[in-house]
Structures are given as structure tokens and as C-alpha cells.
Structure 1
Amino acid sequence: MKFGKIALPASALWLASCASNDFVIPDTAIATPTDYSADLPPAGLDEFWWRAFSDPVLDDLISRGLAANLDIAAAGDRLRAAEALLRAERADLFPTLDGSANLGVETGGDGARVTGNVGLIGNFDLDFSGRLGAEIRLAAARYGEAGYLQADQRRLVAAAIAAQYVEYRLTGAQLALLEESTELQRQTLRIVTLRFEAGLSANLDVRRAAADLAQTQARLGLIEVSRAEAKHALAVLLGEAPGTFEITASAGEEGSIPDYGAGPPIGAPVNLLRRRGDVLAAEARLAAAAAQVGIEQADLRPSLVVPGSILIGDGSLDGLFSSFLATLGAALDLPLFDGGRRRAEVEAARAELDASLAEYRQAFLLALGEAENALVAIGAYRQRADSLAEAIEQSETALAQSNALYREGLASLFDVLDAQRQLISSRQSLLNTQADLATSFIALHSAAASLDGRNSLELR
């Protein structure tokens, strides 16, 4: 695996971010391999990876989930809140103007009189220290983080729906296989019973065959529990009540596992830095940390505020509009001595920036690890599925031969039951492996997916 970038210390990022108003992570900020360690699967043209299953039921479930999932809705609300806070910070660049009115009663030796005046009070921060600009950059970074987290929630929901749907289909296939297996064992039990009644075998053989049948039937409850859990999980992901949620599967789908075709290309590892919502959110948090450094540094510089006021009235109610007083000034705040507090806060902000850089790198490595794990799993499960298919073929032949020999009295019931168990076990293992393979494809494209499940990203 080759690496195309060399990591720089956080101080280099801090200097780059604080030198200008725009925070930009240098290309050398994080080490990225040029390719994956495992071979990539063939890529298709459809930009939505889940369509490679060619399953309209799954397409419908994901479409409904992306529209109704409550976690996505909550992330959208947080995005709106972050946008409003950004507007609020930008508003501080403009002058403020507030109205005032005073009304009172004065009492004295000559009686009581009503007093009052009205006025306007204004204030304008010239951002001489740069604090307002840094606060705006902080709010903008948090707004960007909220947007990326909402998009990442869509990525996670789509993957979760696909994975639960595969589990639901797996349980359907397991129920179909269970029915086949019990029917096979019932036939064996009938043969053994007839031979016992004819005096050709012992009652022990009947009990062994009946025990194997009961053991297989005992799996029914576990499968039904897993099936219900998968269906209920899908309901929650779609924002619906689990007790009333139903899945309408297409004909012929219940006894099989969805087969994944060719999804969108996942690109090189460096694409994860520009496509994964959680990695982009970590980058936004890094930008926010850099902006916080700017805020703390601004407190070391002088600040200049221009206050002003207009007062109408001489204090008496009768002369409310008899006088007019306007003032305009300038307030300069010079930081002189604070016992080292401001510089300590700058140092703390820089440490937080270093921590944010480490978290950004960690987010990328976790994303890269997910993609690498999925690629290895795809290759391993494909090989395992081929081996299990061969095992099933051999087990079917062995079972047929052992049944024929048993009828002729040339093989024991133990041979028949052993061949039967091997066949049933291989079929179950193949179903589980096919489901694991489908889940690995889901994990791969979830790991490498862009913000909207697409193959490209235009939000940066």
C-alpha cells in the first residue's frame, strides 16, 4: 500500500488557518494511501448503490426511510438551528439600534409632576480585534458540520435499512429451508418406522430419527424471533410503529438472499475525505477549533466600539419634545493585565485544535478501515460460498447413496443421519454466507458512499 501524503503537525494547520479568514486544510495534513489493499469489485453505472440488488421492495423501503426517518428529521432541525445561529453571528457586523422611553412621577413641596423622555441608543462594533469575524467563522463551521451530519445520517439509515432487509430475507430463506429439512427428516423417519415395524431395525433407530426431526423443528421459534426483530427494526428506521408495519415481498423472494450486482465505483481512499459525511463533519469541527483560536487571540488585541444615543425631552412631560440631545463616542478597550488568563485561553484553544486534528485523522482511518474490512470480507465470503456450494453437491450425493445402502441393509441409520445433518448444515451455512456477502457489499458502499448515496459530491 502506497501513501501519497505526509502528515504535518497541528501547529502548521493553526498557522495556515489563522493567517487568513478562510480555513483550508493543507493537502499534506493527513496521510492517505493511493489504493486499497484488496481488489475492488466491478462497478456499475447507477449512482445509488442499493439499486444493485435489483430489488424494488428494498428501493421502496430506503426511499421511505430517507423521507421519514426520525434521526434524519432531528438532524435537519439541528441544521436549521445552526443556520439561524450563523445569521445571528453575521448580524453582529451591523450597527444595533434600540429605543428607550422613561416615564415617572416626581413629588415635592410644590406637588407631583409627571416626567418622561424618549430616545434611541445605538452601538457599532468595528471588529477592530477580529473577534466578530472569528465568531462568524465558528458559526459557519458548525453550520457545515450540521449539514454533513445530516447527510451522514442518511448514509447510515440507508445502510441500516438494507442490512435489516437482508436479515429479513435471510429469515424467510431459513424458514423455507427449515420446511425442506423437516420434510426430508420426516421421510427418513417414515422409512425407519416401516423398517422397525417389519422387524428390520431397532426402536433405537426410530428414536434417533425422531430426535433429529425435533431438533430441526426447534429452530423455528428462533428464526421467527429474528424475523420479527428485523421487521420491527425496519419499522423504526422508517418512522412507523413496529406492531403495524408490514413488508410486501415480491413473488419468489422469500426463499432467497438478495444478490448484489455492480454498484457505483468507490474510488480511491482519498475520496473518503471528500465523500464521507462523518469525515467531513470532523473536518468542520477542525475548522471550528481553528476559529476558536482566532476568537481567543482577538481578546489579546484592542477592541473598538462606537456607541451613540439620541435623547428627546427635558425630563418634564410638558416639555417632552422641547429638547434634543445626540451623542456619539468611541470606546477603546485595551487589554493590559489579567494575570495571564487570555494567553492561557489561547493555549487551551490551540490544544483543542490539536485534538480536533487527531479526531479528524481518526475519523478518516475508521472510514478507511471499514472499507478495507468490507473488501476483505467480500472476497472471503465469495470463496466460502463457492466451497459450500460444492459441499452441498457432495452431501446430496452422499445422502442419496447412504439412503440406498440403508434400504439394502448395507449401511446403518447413523450413516444416513450423518449425511443428512451435513447436508442441512451446509445449506444453512450457505444461506448465512450469502447474507454475509450481501451485508459486506452494504458495508463497502456505506463506507465509501458520498453524502447522498451518490458517486459524486458538489457540496464543498
Structure 2
Amino acid sequence: MKWLSCFAALFLLGCGGLSKKVDAHHPDVALPQAWQTVQDPEVEAAADLTIDDLVPLESYRSLIRRALDENPDLQLTALQIREADLLVRDRRGARLPEIGLTVDGRRDKSAQAPDDPFTTVSGGFNLSWELDVWGRLADAEAAARLDREAARATYQAARRSLAARVVQRALDILNVRRVIAIERQRLEVLETNEEIVTARYRAGRGELADLETARRDSRNARAALAALEEDANQAHRALRVLLGDLDMSHVDIPDTVPDVPRVPAGMPAQSLAQRPDLAAALTRIRAEDRRAEAAHKALLPAFRIGANWDRSGGSPSDMLEGSPLWSLLGNLTAPLFQGGRLRANAQLAELAAERAYWSYRNSLLTSVLEVETALSRERAFARQIPELEAALTHATASRRHFEERYREGLGDILDLLAVQQTEFDLNVRLNQTRIDRLGNRIDLALALGLGVSE
């Protein structure tokens, strides 16, 4: 019974490394019962909506499909799933027996038969199998499976983020294009003003200061228009990068503004449960917990059995005809002293699990903030746009009044330029706010976990 006593001693020695039990159940995170920013009561929670459903124009959906097929970053993320699949196969294979084949031929220099290439030929099979008594290998395989699950969730999150960014970049192009149209109208008005002021000055009915002011505003508008045209080029290039297209020419974006509807938000727990990035972060906690358990179990004794089946002879034919030799053995190994390496590995695994937990907490807090911010901005846009529309109506009426007075010689050019500037600035601001509201609704859809059509 000496071997039993030895086994008991080794087992107790290994168990000393498990004094700190790995806790796979981290504290739950309390979600808010409701969003701080409440939508209209008649708006119900979203059901089966996708990001591309919010943009009904086929041109936008076509851009999303192109990006999902060709974007390099997304394809790199997809490769992580394949890598995770191979890692699962590797960990699964570690739990199975290993079988090898050996064939060996030797020639003795003192052999009497010079024509015989071999004097001894041997071959056989050997088997080795680690018995997963404590479940260490099972934990490693489970961690790999969880890593694969997290990789798949990360890929889904990347798809949704990419679709949202494509729509955002297309809206940027549309916004710049519309602002350029407004600025061209501004330039036309300023050039007309310059012509009128020039004619009045030459006729002796105007001041040189008025002429200089008119010329200044015209040139300033031309410079602003040139800058906006470059902004449009930059926006097209940014979209091309998302599409994975090396051709940096312009993308065909229709002038029609997509009617992106409001995205209804359900309860926080219901909404955030749809986010794949949170699912990936939560799965990584479970994976790191299983790795920590495996690292602690590496301190326990390991059991391995082996078997060998051998044949030998003076020639290949003799080897096949001879009687085989076989052996079956088992061994028990336990770590006695490794300089604290195994214990350090176990502690590192515990820290990795703790880090994964706090990373999940950070992602969850960020998710709540994203939803709250998008909901709050939606309400702000709902208040801003009617006011800007009314302000633009008044500015247009004021501009017409001052133009009429100026044509009659009753007004000052500076007053006219001021009211024209106000009208165009309000037009630009209203357009920007409308586009921002559409983009915010895309942000809200992404924050609420809306997916992308397959």
C-alpha cells in the first residue's frame, strides 16, 4: 500500500494550491428599471427591426451590403472565428488518446551480409492518454468554446457597427452636398449684391466702404465653398474605406434624404440584452473563469496511461513474422517544485477573470450612456427643429423686407448683408440639425442592439 500513501501525499500537496477557490459567479450588475429619458408613451418597444430597415432607400442598403462583403476590418474579425474553431479542436484533441507509429532500421558495421541493407528492423505502435480526472482539460476545452462564442458575438457587433458607420458616412456626404448647395445660393446673392453696389458706386450713389464690404463677403463665400467641396471629397474617401474600395472616386449617393423613423426603446434589460458586444464581454468572463479553474487544477497530480506494441527482426519480412512485444503502463506525476510558476499562472488567470469582469462592467456602463444620450438628443432635436424652421421663416421675411428697402435706396448695405447672412446661416443650421437627428437615430438603433439583415 506504499503507492496509495504516496498518492495521498501528492494529492494533498496539490490541493494546497486550491486554497483560494475560483469564483465563477461574479456580482450581478443592477440595471436601471427604466431609461431616464422617456420617449412618448405611445411608442412601443422595437420588434424585429434592423438597422437597414431604418433606411428604406435601396442605395443605402446596397452600400451596407458592399461594406459587409468587402470591409477589411470585418473580414479580419471573421477570421477570429475560424481561429477560435481551430483552438477548440486543439483543446478537444488534448483530451483524446495519442497514437504514434515508429519504424526503425539499423545496420551493424560488422554484418556478414554486405548486400543486406539492414541487420535489425523494428516497428510498433505507442499510445499515450492523460486521464482528465480533475477536469482540467475539460475546463480548457470549455474556455475555448466560450472564446469561440465570444468571437461570434464580436463579429455580429462589428457587422452592426459597420452598417451604422456606412449610413453615417452617407449622411455626412448628403449633408455636405446640401450645405454646398446653400452656400452656392449665398454666393450668388453676394455676387448680385456686389454688382449692385458696384453700379451704385460708379454712379456716385454709393460709398467705397460698402463696395469693399460686398467684395469681402463674396470672396469669403468662395473660400468657404472651396473648403466645403474638399470636405465632400474627404467624406467620399471615408465611405470608400468602409466599403473596402481602393477606387477613391465619388460614391453614388442620391439627393433624397432618407426618412429614418424614431427607434422605440424598450426596458433597459430588454434592450441591452440584444447587444452582441455585451454578450461577448459576458462570455469572456465565463471563459476566463474556466481558464482560472484549469490553472488551479494544474497543481494537482496528473494521471497518464501508455501502451506499446513492438515487433523486430533481421529484415522487414522477419519483423512482420515475428512475435510482437507489448507493454501497458501507467504513471502519476505531481508538481513538487517549479519555482512558483504554476501558482503564478493560477494567480494570473484569476486576474484575467477579474479584468474581464470589470471590462464587462465598463462596456455595460458605456451602453447605458449611449442609449441615454441618444434618447436625450432625440428629444432635444424634437424641440430644436420646429424653432429653427420658424426662425428661418422669419429670417426669409426679414431678408425680403430689407432687399426691398435697399432697392428703394432706404436701407444700408450692411443691414442687408446681415439679414442675408442670418437667413443662410439658419438654413445651414436647420439642414445640419435634420441630418444630425437622422444620424442620432442610427446611433440609437446601434445602442439598442438592432441587427443587420443577413
Q: TM-score, normalised by structure 1?
A: 0.86
Once residues 70 and 36 of structure 1 are traced to their aligned partners in structure 2, the CA distance between those partners, rounded to angstroms, is 36
| Residue 194 of structure 2: aligned partner | 189
- 1:132 correspondence with 2:129: no
Aligned to 1:11: none
Q: Which residue of 2 aligns with 1:3?
A: none
Describe the SS at the equivalent of 1:310. strand
Which amino acid letter does the alignment assign opposite residue 106 of structure 1? D
In structure 2, the residue corresponding to 1:207 is in which secondary structure?
Answer: helix
CA distance in 2, matches of 1:110, 1:329: 38
Instruction: Provide the rounded CA distance (Å) in 1 between the counterparts of 2:316 and 2:54.
Output: 80
- In the other structure, the counterpart of 2:346 is 346
SS of structure 1 residue aligned to 2:119: strand
2:205 alignment counterpart: 200
Match among 105, 108, 114 for residue 106 of structure 1: 108
Task: State how 1:398-437 maps to structure 2 within 5 Å.
Answer: 398-437=398-437
Q: Deviation string for 1:52-95 (max 9, x for gaps)?
A: 23322212111221222222211112211211211221122222
For residue 311 of structure 1, report the CA deviation from its aligned partner: 0.3
Identity %: 24
Counterpart code for 2:177: G
Corresponding residue for residue 220 of structure 1? 225
Between the aligned partners of 1:384 and 1:267, the Cα distance in structure 2 is 25
Contact 2:171 2:435 in 1 (8 A): yes
Which residue of 1 is the match for residue 394 of structure 2? 394
Q: 1:158, 1:405 → 2: CA distance? A: 52
Give the conservation status (yes or no) of the 8 Å contact 1:273–1:280: no
Contact 1:36 1:269 in 2 (8 A): yes
Q: Residue in 2 aligned with 1:379?
A: 379
1:235 maps onto 2:240 in alignment? yes
Contact 1:266 1:449 in 2 (8 A): no
Deviation at 1:135, TM superposition (A): 0.8
CA 374–453 in structure 1, closer or farther in 2 if over 3 Å, else same: farther
Q: Deviations over 1:216-250 (max 9, x none)?
A: 1211221111111111121121121232453152x
- Cα distance 1:428–1:452, how it changes in 2: closer, same or farther (>3 A)? closer
- How many Å separate the matches in 1 of 2:143 and 2:364? 22
User: Would you say 1:358 and 2:363 are equivalent positions?
Assistant: no
Which whole-Å deviations, capped at 9, do the CAs of 1:166-208 have from their partners, x for residues lacking one?
1000011012111221222233233323333433222322221
Partner of 2:449: 449
Q: For 2:31, what is the secondary structure of its paired residue?
A: coil
Q: How far did residue 448 of structure 1 move?
A: 1.5
Aligned-residue offset at 1:120:
0.4
The secondary structure found in structure 1 opposite 2:248 is helix
Gaps of 5+ in 1: 1-13, 18-24, 455-460
Say yes or no: does 1:80 pair with 2:82: yes
Q: Which moved more, 1:315-324 or 1:379-388?
A: 315-324
| Structure 1 residue 317 displacement after superposition | 5.1
SS in 2 for 1:376: helix
Query: What amino acid sits opposite 1:103 in the alignment?
Result: G
Structure 1: distance between partners of 2:68 and 2:410:
62
Q: Is the 8 A contact 1:155 1:446 kept in 2?
A: yes
| Residue identity opposite 1:57 in structure 2 | S
- 1:320 and 2:319 correspond: yes
1-structure distance, mates of 2:317, 2:199: 120
Aligned ranges for residues 51-200 of structure 1 at < 5 Å?
Answer: 51-108=53-110, 114-200=119-205
Given that residues 47 and 453 in structure 1 are in contact (C-alpha distance below 8 angstroms), is that contact kept between their aligned partners in structure 2?
no
Alpha-carbon distance in structure 2 between the residues aligned to 1:241 and 1:63: 17
Cα distance in 2 between the residues matched to 1:150 and 1:281: 9
Give the CA deviation at 1:355.
1.6
Residue 145 of structure 2 aligns to a residue in which SS? helix
**CA gap 1:135/1:115 in 2 versus in 1, 3 angstroms:** same
The answer to which of 326-335 and 266-275 deviates more is 266-275
Q: Which moved more, 1:282-291 or 1:193-202?
A: 193-202
Q: Which amino acid aligns with 1:378?
A: E
CA displacement, residues 353-407 of structure 1 (integer Å, 9 cap, x when unaligned): 1121111111111111111122222222332222222221111111111122223
1:158 is displaced (CA, Å) by: 0.6
Residue 15 of structure 1 deviates from its aligned partner by 5.2
Look up the match of 2:281.
282
Structure 2 unaligned runs (5+)? 1-20
Larger radius of gyration: 2
- 8 Å contact kept, 2:302–2:334: yes
1:127, 1:304 within 8 Å by CA — same for their partners in 2? yes
1:398/1:419 contact within 8 Å kept: yes
- Taking the aligned partners of 1:31 and 1:247, their CA distance within structure 2 comes to 46
Shift of 1:103: 1.0
TM-score between the two structures when normalised by the length of structure 2: 0.87
- Paired residues, number: 428
Moved more, 334-343 or 324-333: 334-343
Task: Evaluate the alpha carbon distance shift between residue 376 and residue 384 of structure 1 in structure 2; reply closer, same or farther with a 3 A threshold.
Answer: same
Between the aligned partners of 1:233 and 1:84, the Cα distance in structure 2 is 35
In structure 2, the residue corresponding to 1:383 is in which secondary structure? helix
State the AA in 2 paired with 1:368: V
Distance 1:236 1:375, change over 3 A: same
Aligned residue identity for 2:162: V
Indicate if the aligned counterparts of 2:272 and 2:448 stay in contact, CA closer than 8 A: no
Instruction: Give the match's secondary structure for 1:117.
Output: strand
How far residue 340 of structure 1 moved from its aligned partner, in angstroms, is 4.4
Question: 1:260-284 CA deviation, whole Å, 9 max, x = no partner?
Answer: 2244x44322245532222222112
